[in-house]
A and B are shown apart, each in its own frame.
Chain A
Amino acid sequence: MQFGLFSVSDITQDPTTGKTPSEHERIKAVVAIAKHAEEVGLDVFALGEHHNPPFFSSSPTTTLASIAAQTSTLQLSTATTLITTNDPVKIAEDFAMLQHLADGRVDLTLGRGNTGPVYPWFGKDIRQGIELALENYALLRRLWREDFVDWSGQFRTPLQGFQSTPRPLDDVPPFVWHGSIRSPEIAEQAAFYGDGFFANHIFWPASHTQKMVAFYRQRFEHHGHGPADQAIVGLGGQIFIGKTSQEAKAAFRPYFDNAPVYGHGPSLEEFTEQTPLTVGSPQEIIDKTLGFRDYVGDYQRQLFLIDHAGLPLKTVLEQLDLLGSEVLPVLRREFDARRAPGVPEAPTHASMLAAKNAAAAAAPDAVAAAPGSAFGLRSTTGA
């Protein structure tokens, strides 16, 4: 099981000091956080994409490339890459480039975005969000899997004999997660291709996440990618750890009460009860996180949001220390002990490459004839 961080990349005033970091400070901070995530033993760092203040992350691949250069094991991902308003050709190229520079430590999560005006800024219509996600992703897949693409569709200039460059590392395209909060169509899209499904989870009640994941699993099996309980699921979650429950709540409450995403609504206690938010001792974080498995089944990736709501860098790094030392070892051990036999790990470049090579050795002619066929999840689940 993979554990990691995902950042929404907000620039928020620290309500306890009145200080708001500059864009420069926050951008450098996120690189420091990612580096420290690797140091404390986390597996994944994922960064969102936004094109409006108060967010800084308009160019995740640039940021992730810098992190890649300063880390060695960390898997780099997004949360999310906008499949609706970005050109799928540019996504294909940017992530293939990042994949080479990071020696394969790259996957990505596709999403539709949560800011309405982004669509018109990039010449798109929000009412076609689902259709854009479907068509753009279908093209993205082909660009990574076929050397020369002839294509025409509803939303983009046609392509004749186009080759996106660079080609994916080892001809193994990055693994794709489809992120969604509430659209069953996106869960269906992930299931159709046998890709991963990432349920944002944060800010939403468990009952809702449970329905989305159950639907994805059912459809994953329907489309012939394997049993429902072996589908590839990722979950979000947000935590604040203290030595004791009381210490954690006292330290986080001013941030919670004032944060744009939480503040001035339900109390910290109500929100904790109704969503994955956990503010408490290491044991409370462990108990609640293990509880996610009770309603989504065995899953492959758990990402935590910890660098938001105006928390200063120093606090975030201290949170990482606590996460790595007090929480992570227990979560790894307990999730491993509970996992049902046959449930695969999240695909990585290494596992997909090994699966591709095994398939090529088993049936060299078939692989040569259909270069895309070996890259599907089906052949990687046993790896």
Chain B
Amino acid sequence: MTVRKLAVVSAGLSQPSSTRMLADHLSAATVSRLEEQGFEVEVTTIELRDVASDIMNNMLTGFPSPKLESVLEAVTGADGLIAVTPIFTTSYSGLFKSFFDVIDNQSLTDLPVVIGATAGTPRHSLALDYALRPLFTYLHAVVAPTGVFAATGDWGESADSVKTLPNRIGRAAGELAALMKDSDRSSQVRDPFGFDSVMSGVGGFQPS
């Protein structure tokens, strides 16, 4: 059976965390879509709070701890990514941004991504499209058209009754699964010491 690797990043801070809950729902929906189509899915779920000090240490020293390095490998070597953050002060959380700041800015190229966010009120929902989407566009990731925003009310009776949260999750998962089907990123991880990259025209050594 063909394997696809899915990385799930949650920047939620509390436990239990509604951010993690949204991440898990998106993950489960994506896995079932891919399994329906005959794929085996390996899921790696990452709570950024578990590597929070490692992320800051990487910023200060320039290199990741062994623990953070395995997290970075799971994300950069995946076929698809689900990235979910709480919205703090109009945007993604500092922890979420810091994590993507320590990732090599070329290593998410072509990576299919579904973006998600949580907040207390639906008034923050546009943060998905003015903050998260540009971040991943800058990194040359392929951001699925549907982003999933969950306000506190979405988990209960004040939820949107026309496009319910499960409905939105299902739509985003379908888009991610379709992109992941065609992704072969996990089978071709880039080696900076590989012959082609060093000998290529871009920065490669071509003595006169």
Contacts and interface: CB of A to CB of B under 8 A. Distances in A.
A114 to B, nearest CB: 10
A204 B63 contact: yes
Given A134-B205, A188-B205, A274-B63, A265 B198 contact: no
B205 A264 contact: no
A203 B193 contact: no
Interface stretch (B54-62, B115-123, B163-171): B54-62
Contacts of B198: 184-185, 188, 215
Contacts of B207: 134, 138, 189, 192
Interface in A162-200: 183-185, 188-189, 192
Interface of A: 130-131, 134-135, 138, 183-185, 188-189, 192, 203-205, 208, 211-212, 214-215, 262, 264-266, 270-271, 274
Interface residues on B, range: 10 to 19
B193 A215 contact: yes
Given A185-B198, A211-B193, A203 B204 contact: no
B57 A266 contact: yes
Contacts of A270: 57, 65
Contacts of A264: 60
A204 B69 CA distance: 13
B203 interface: yes
Nearest to B197: A184
B22 to A, nearest CB: 32
Interface of B: 56-57, 60-63, 65-66, 192-193, 197-199, 203-208
A340 to B, nearest CB: 23
B203 A274 contact: no
Dominant SS among interface residues on chain A = helix
A8 to B, nearest CB: 15
A135 B198 CA distance: 17
Contact of B192 (A134, A184, A192): A184
Contact of A265 (B56, B193, B208): B56
Given A134-B206, A189-B207, A265-B60, 7 more contacts: A131-B203, A184-B197, A204-B62, A204-B63, A270-B65, A271-B61, A274-B65
Contacts of A138: 207-208
Contacts of B62: 203-204
Contacts of A215: 193, 198
B192 A203 contact: no
A192 B205 CA distance: 9
Contacts of B206: 134
B203 A205 contact: no
A205 B205 CA distance: 25
Given A185-B198, A188-B198, A203 B203 contact: no
A185 to B, nearest CB: 5
Contacts of B208: 135, 138
